[in-house]
Every structure is written in structure tokens, then in C-alpha cells.
Amino acid sequence: MMQALGTLAAALALPAAAAPLAQGAIAKPPRLRQGDVVGLIAPAGFSDDLEELEQVKGTIAGMGLVPKVGEHVLTRYGYLAGSDRQRAADLNAMYADKEVRAVFAVHGGWGSARLLPHLDWKTIRANPKLLVGFSDITALHMAFAAQAGFPTIHAPNAANGWLEQTWNSFWTLAFQGGTPTLLNPDPGPDPLLEERWRTATIRGGKASGRLLGGNLSVLATLVGTPYLPDFSGAILFIEDTGEAEYRIDRMLTQLGQAGILRRVAGVVFGQCTGCHIDVPDYSGFTLPQVLAQHLVPLGVPAFSGALIGHVANQFALPVGVRAEIDAGAGSIRILEPAVG
């Protein structure tokens, strides 16, 4: 995989520099270039596996980038990668470091939300850099959207798999400053892939707005905090893993009663991996029924099944930029670059 990433990165030419920002526009993170230094942080769960860290560094090198490991990446504090202040210090240091051009989370798990009060938002806002990760990193994506205002990228954590579709979409967004249309691939004649990659229209139509979201469980924990952005007119994307139908119902109820769902312009429910209750002869609501109960009454375009979430070969998806969804086609069209 690392050789394939390196070969692809070397083969693709980088575009010319972006035009200067218009007066009053929010600065965007710089696009990545081969040879750029990128920071590795562990904002959530711990790993003291030196061999895994070497593999992660190899993956980053295979992207044509130079890894710089945060001081506390291998620290352990209970089930976290260091204390809240230690993990926050690593993130703050990467945004203060002029050499570092982007920041990758090594792992998810749990703990990113605990960092938020300890982050140096003044320094982060003054140094826009792509933040890359998913799952628990949703807490950081949402807080950056609310407190920093520049785009981030929802993509695998550095220790996860980076397969062709993931890498291609990430390259387009982060290196080329492109605006791709993300559409599940044709599964061909394989019935298993057809089931796994099929999108389902919940309510048809097109809608555009700022793309915001991530892991549903993490998103729900941020309700009532200053770390959720304004969802008015947004395209909400959500995903999850290992949550039974009633828990998805509970979290969507929370988003609904908090007033978030009624403000969005459209919804993409990605993959919900292993989201079913493990009870023989279960006769409760199915996940599609739960989604319909919460999303159809909103009266906005919505679809499910996009390759976003805890699946191999997921899309890299920009957070905080404008996008258009076509719920009938199951597509997400990015309308503006995530990088400058």
C-alpha cells in the first residue's frame, strides 16, 4: 500500500498556486505538496505499539509526506494517549509549528472531546492547516468548524487503511484543491458488494449547503456545548458503528429535539457498520425505518449508504465547505476547494 501511494503521488502533477484570497474571506489551509512535513497526534485512544507507529510513519511517507510525531503519541493515561492537557499540547504544538503543513490523527477511540477546553484557538485560527481523521476525531472537526472556521478533512486516521478510492479522493481534495463528485462505485455483478455499496433515497431532491457532520455518537455528545457549529442550511452527514437501532433512534431524537435536524438543508447517512441489535427474533424497528421516521418529516433531500464511515475504502470528505447532494443519485458534489 505504501509503495502504491508513493507511486501515485509521484505520478500526479501539482497544480499552480491558488489565487489570493478576496478581502474578508476566511483563510483556508494550504494544499499539500510532496515533501511537506505533517504532524502525527493521538488525541483520543492510546497505543504503545512502536511497530504500529513505524507502519504509520511509512504510510505517511508513502503519501510523499514527511511525518513529525507528537511528543505524547506513545504516552498512556488509562485508555487515553496521555492526559487531556498532554494530548491538547501536542495538537497546539503542531498548529504553532511553522514547519508543519497538516495534522493527522493516528487513532480514534474516545477522548477528543475532552481536549476542546484546552486548545489554543487563537493559535489554531492564525495557522490554518488541514486536520485529517474520523470517528472520534469528529469532535475536533466540529470544534474547528465552530471555533476556527477553516475546512478539515474527514478521512481515515493514519493507522487505518488507505485504499485506492480513499487515497484518490484525499489527493484530489488535499493536494490538487479539487472539487470532486463523490458517488459509490459500481459494484458490478457481485451481489455482496451491490448490497454493501447501494445507496437508498430517503427523500428525493437536490440541496446545497455547508458540509458538516461525522460520527453520530460523538456529534450527539457535543449538543449543548460551544463546540458545535451552526447547522442552519447545512448538509449534515453522519455515520456510526456498533450501535443498535434503538441507540441510533435515541441519538437522532436528541439532534431533533435540540433543533439541529430542523435547520439542515439535506442529510447524508453514510455507513452504519454492525448497527443492529443482537437479539434472536428481534421484531423492533429496522435502521431504514428509524431513518425514515426522523428524516422524512424534515422535508429535505436525504439518502443513506454513502461510503462514509467505518468501512474500507471510504471517501475522504471535506468538512466546512459547500457541497450539493442529489438524494436520488446518491451523490455528493463538492462546490469549493478545501484548501487554498
Of the candidates 72, 141, 154, 310, the residue annotated as catalytic is 310
Q: Which domain holds residue 108?
A: 2-175
Domain identity same for 19 and 89: yes
Compute the average pLDDT of residues 70-84: 97
Report how many domains make up the chain.
2
Question: What distances in angstroms separate CA 18 from CA 105, 127, 264, 285, one per listed residue?
Answer: 26, 17, 31, 49
| Dihedral sign for Cα atoms in the order 156, 25, 39, 7 | positive
42 assigned to some structural domain: yes
State the CATH number of the domain containing residue 146: 3.40.50.10740
Among candidate residues 262, 266, 265, 304, the one with its CA nearest the CA of residue 287: 304
> What's the CATH code of the domain at 232?
3.50.30.60
Q: Are residues 85 and 17 in the same domain?
A: yes
Q: 64 and 171 share a domain?
A: yes
- Please give the model's pTM, rounded to 2 decimal places: 0.92
Closest CA to 63 of 194, 158, 178: 158
**Count of residues for the chain?**
340
| Domain co-membership, 126 together with 253 | no
pLDDT band at 304 (very low <50, low <70, confident <90, very high): very high
Q: Are residues 187 and 170 in the same domain?
A: no
State yes or no: is 239 an active-site residue: yes
pLDDT at 190 over 80: no
Return the exposure string of 20-29: e unless at least 16 CB atoms fall within 10 Å of the residue's CB, then b: eeeeeeeebb
Do 197 and 320 share a domain, yes or no? Answer: yes
pLDDT at res. 281: 79
Residue 118 lies in a domain: yes
CA angle in degrees (0–180, nearest 5) for 103-104-105 = 125
Residues 28 and 83 in one domain: yes
Q: Can you say how many angstroms the Cα of residue 294 is from the centroid of all Cα atoms in its chain?
A: 23
| CB-based contact 89:71 (threshold 8 Å) | yes
- Select which of 135, 217, 304, 331 is catalytic: 135
User: Average pLDDT of 1-18?
Assistant: 42
pLDDT of amino acid 300: 98
Res. 243: pLDDT tops 80 = yes
Predicted local distance difference test score (pLDDT) of residue 16: 34
Average pLDDT, the chain: 92
Displacement of CA 30 from its chain's centroid (Å) = 18
148, 95: one domain: yes
Per-residue pLDDT at 191: 67
Reading the block at residue 106, the C-alpha cell is 493516528
195 tagged catalytic: no
The answer to whether position 339 is within a domain reads no
Q: Sorting pLDDT into bands at 50, 70 and 90, what band is 194? A: low
- Over range 117-139, report the average pLDDT: 98
Catalytic residue from among 154, 239, 245, 304: 239
Out of 123, 153, 175, a domain closes at: 175
User: What is the pLDDT, as a whole number, of residue 22?
Assistant: 37
Mean pLDDT for 227-232 is 98
175, 210, 239 - which closes a domain: 175
Q: Which helix (H) or strand (E) holds 95?
A: helix 84-96
Q: Are residues 53 and 145 in the same domain?
A: yes
